[in-house]
Amino acid sequence: MKSNPILGLGVSLLAASVASSALAATTDSVSRQVRGLNDRLTAYENRFRVNGFATFGAVQSDVEESDDTYHRGINNETNFRRYTKAGIQMSFNMDAKTSVVTQFVARGENDFDVKAEWAYFKHQVNNQLSVKVGRLRKPNYLLSEYFDVGYAMPWTQAPVEVYGVLEDSANYEAIDLTYDFEMGDWTAYTQFQFGRSETATAVSDDLMAFNFSMNNGSLTLRAGYSQADAGLVSGTATAAQVSAINSAFSFTDKADEVVKESNKGTFYGLAVMYDNGSLLAIAEYNSLTVESLFPDQDGYYVMGGYRFGQWMPYLSYAHEETTDDDTRDPTVSPTPAVPDANANGVSDIYEAAIGAQQAFNKEQTRSTVGVRYDYKPGIALKLQYDMIDVGETKGEFAAIPAEDSANIISFTIDTVF
Amino acid sequence: MKKSLKSLVAALALTGAAQFANAGVAIVVGANSPLAAAPEGDVVKIFLGKKKDIGGSPVVPIDQAEGNNARNDFYTNVVKKSEAQLKSYWSRLIFTGKGQAPQVVGGDTDVKGMVASNPNLIGYIDAGAVDGTVKVIYKQ
């Protein structure tokens, strides 16, 4: 039978007051009661826990044309929504080994619609092995699993050159096996996930991820690999672009590069993080390869910061570029010549296809300087300045911008509670 | 003159004694726990959720509330993390389902009461607060 903690509290208080008025042999009795009450409250608190995080952010760039909106809504008007979000997590321990965890996140950029980012059932098989089933976050990056928790991140926003690649489909339905073990002074984590992800535009079937990381207190080393069969949801703008490309190329020798219904994608990443309490340094490299005309992409960043008491100034540099631009080479002509040739003797469809393909090409660098101020445990303020260069590509802009660079300033208040 | 020098020495000695009594945090388990001693490395790993046993005996850590001397002493000198770093550390584990920070139970007396009545619990208290109900398995 389970005891009601509130009822228990009342009973204990009543018992305590009766005992103290009796005065005889009271001290022992009262302290036993109090101890019993403490134990019961602790047991209750241990079964159900609520944790939360929130970020209030403001971000603005110096790009004037509103059409050249930088990466999802950042332009020259101060945007209070893009970085603002709040999350709440509830964990209920059914017994010592089994728990249910749900995490709900409301993002400003989605009009604060609440979404279940995590919702899973976890069973701790033994001290080393645990199993999770449900909605999880893809463990592709060093920091991806707590990407939303601004307080745990050094920047106002992690570099999109690396973290933007799989951001849209970061949460998915999967099974996760995690095995932890010790190797001398190191603690090692191995993680295997299998699942399926679906967003508004893309579906990834048979998604498998394997990660290994080890930590000895200040140094963390990590390597990860994942693969999936990616396809597009029909009826979207990207799907229309792709079918235009397909129709222009369907009879050429590049047939094997034309987007198929299912395209195998592989992703791997390496990361190293050093944090001795004063010095923080992180380097991370990732590479994504997908069959067909889907862009292949490499990205990396290096960052360093040093804590002077509550202040931590930091610098970082990030870079991304598509590595298969030649497969979208505009000099390749479709053969045989297509019938709808325009004045230049080139197919309209073909030109459109080339244009669409080139919109996939990307090269972007970001240099960042910022400072974090730990106001008190659980509350941090950050101010960050980013200088972005996209060369002749569209980078992370919605379209190829008039100017090839942008400067962004952002400020966040990050909390955990 | 002589008298004031004497009282100065006495005051210094008292300050020293007070500092001595305050110096050090003891890692404790219940007097009836099977554990006898634990290396510092294991203690740190247990309070950071990286380890769940000492020499095969399962242990569950309990924390003191923020602001207590023993807590400051323990995290500053044994675990070597500031409160802000601890918050970051635990948010990375909590929000990814990898772990939960130890239960906070109050101060020295609460820790002693709880470890004394549960042989699996491990806590830290001011070295000056150690009594017969608990067993010191590591001290700094």
pLDDT tens per residue, range B80-136:
888 888 999 999 899 988 888 998 888 999 999 999 988 889 999 999 989 989 999
Q: Measured between CB atoms, which of B52, B81, B96 is closest to A145?
A: B96
**Shortest Cα distance from B138 to chain A (angstroms)?**
18
**Shortest Cα distance from A170 to chain B (angstroms)?**
13
User: Among A297, A305, A300, which Cα is nearest to A284's?
Assistant: A300
Q: What is the pLDDT of residue A253?
A: 45
**Chain B residue with minimal CA distance to A180?**
B50
Q: Measured between CB atoms, which of B81, B83, B95 is closest to A277?
A: B81
**Chain B residue with minimal CA distance to A121?**
B97
Distances (CA, A) of A180 to A139, A314, B96: 16, 32, 15
Confidence bin at B36 (pLDDT 50/70/90): confident
A182:B51 CB<8 A: yes
Q: Is A310 on the interface with B (CB under 8 A)?
A: yes
Distances (CA, A) of B7 to A193, B12, B18, B19: 70, 8, 16, 18
**Which of residues 42 through 81 in chain B touch A, CB cutoff 8 A?**
44-45, 50-53, 58, 66, 80-81
**Chain B residue with minimal CA distance to A144?**
B96
Q: Which residues contact A413 (CB under 8 A, 6 or more apart)?
A: A55, A56, A57, A379, A380, A381
B67, two tokens: 């602001």
Q: Is B113 on the interface with A (CB under 8 A)?
A: yes
**Chain B residue with minimal CA distance to A89?**
B95
Q: How far apart are CA B44 and CA A73, in angstroms?
A: 44
β-sheet with B103-104: strand ranges across: B103-104, B60-63, B121-126, B25-30, B134-139
DSSP secondary structure string for all residues of B97-131: TS--PPEE--SHHHHHHHHHH-TTEEEEEEGGG--
**Shortest Cα distance from B110 to chain A (angstroms)?**
8
Q: What is the pLDDT of residue A118?
A: 92
Instruction: Tell me the residue range of the domain where B60 lies.
Output: 24-139
Is residue B17, in this structure, part of any structural domain at all?
no
Q: Is A132 on the interface with B (CB under 8 A)?
A: yes
Task: Please name the helix (run of DSSP H) or strand (run of DSSP E) that holds residue A223, with its range, or none.
Answer: strand A219-232
Q: What is the pLDDT of residue B16?
A: 44
B100:A91 CB<8 A: yes
Q: What is the pLDDT of residue B10?
A: 54
**B-chain residues near A31 (CB < 8 A):** 113
Q: Measured between CB atoms, which of A136, A185, A378 is closest to B41?
A: A185
Q: What is the pLDDT of residue A45?
A: 60
Q: What is the pLDDT of residue A104?
A: 94
Q: How far apart are CA A51 and CA B92, in angstroms?
A: 12
Number of compact structural domains in chain A: 1
Are the CB atoms for B63 and B105 separated by under 8 Å? yes
Q: Measured between CB atoms, which of A38, A149, A217 is closest to B91?
A: A149
pLDDT 10s per residue in chain A (417 long)?
444 555 455 455 445 455 555 555 667 777 677 667 666 666 666 688 899 999 999 999 888 766 556 777 788 888 898 899 999 999 998 888 899 999 999 999 888 999 998 999 999 998 889 999 999 988 889 988 888 899 999 999 999 999 887 666 778 899 999 999 988 889 999 999 999 988 877 888 889 999 999 999 889 999 999 998 888 877 777 777 666 666 665 544 444 555 667 788 899 999 999 998 899 999 999 999 988 777 889 999 999 999 999 999 999 999 999 888 777 665 555 544 555 555 555 556 666 666 666 777 889 999 999 999 999 999 999 999 999 998 888 888 877 777 888 899 999 999 999
Is pLDDT above 90 for B61? yes
Number of compact structural domains in chain B: 1
Is residue A287, in this structure, part of any structural domain at all?
yes
| b/e burial code for range A209-221 (CB count within 10 A of at least 16 → b) | bbbebbbebeebb
Q: What is the pLDDT of residue A145?
A: 84
Q: Is B131 on the interface with A (CB under 8 A)?
A: no
Q: What is the pLDDT of residue A409?
A: 95
Helix axes A237-249, A348-358, angle to 10 degrees: 130
What is the complex's ipTM, to 2 decimals?
0.75
Cα dihedral A401, A301, A193, A415 sign: negative
Q: What is the pLDDT of residue A179?
A: 95
Tell me the mean pLDDT in the region B42-55.
89
Is pLDDT above 60 for B1? no
A187:B50 CB<8 A: yes
Q: How many CB pairs under 8 A join A and B?
A: 81
Instruction: Tell me the residue range of the domain where A83 lies.
Output: 48-416
Residue A168: CATH number of its domain:
2.40.160.10
Is residue B119, in this structure, part of any structural domain at all?
yes
Is residue B100, in this structure, part of any structural domain at all?
yes
Q: How far apart are CA A365 and CA A312, in angstroms?
A: 23
Q: Measured between CB atoms, which of B66, B88, B105 is closest to A151?
A: B88
Residue B88: CATH number of its domain:
3.40.190.10
Q: What is the pLDDT of residue A5?
A: 52
Is residue B36, in this structure, part of any structural domain at all?
yes
Q: What is the pLDDT of residue B15?
A: 47
Q: What is the pLDDT of residue A387?
A: 95
Q: What is the pLDDT of residue B18?
A: 44
B95:A89 CB<8 A: yes
**B-chain residues near A51 (CB < 8 A):** 91, 94-95
Q: What is the pLDDT of residue A305?
A: 97
Is pLDDT above 80 for B51? yes
Is residue B2, in this structure, part of any structural domain at all?
no
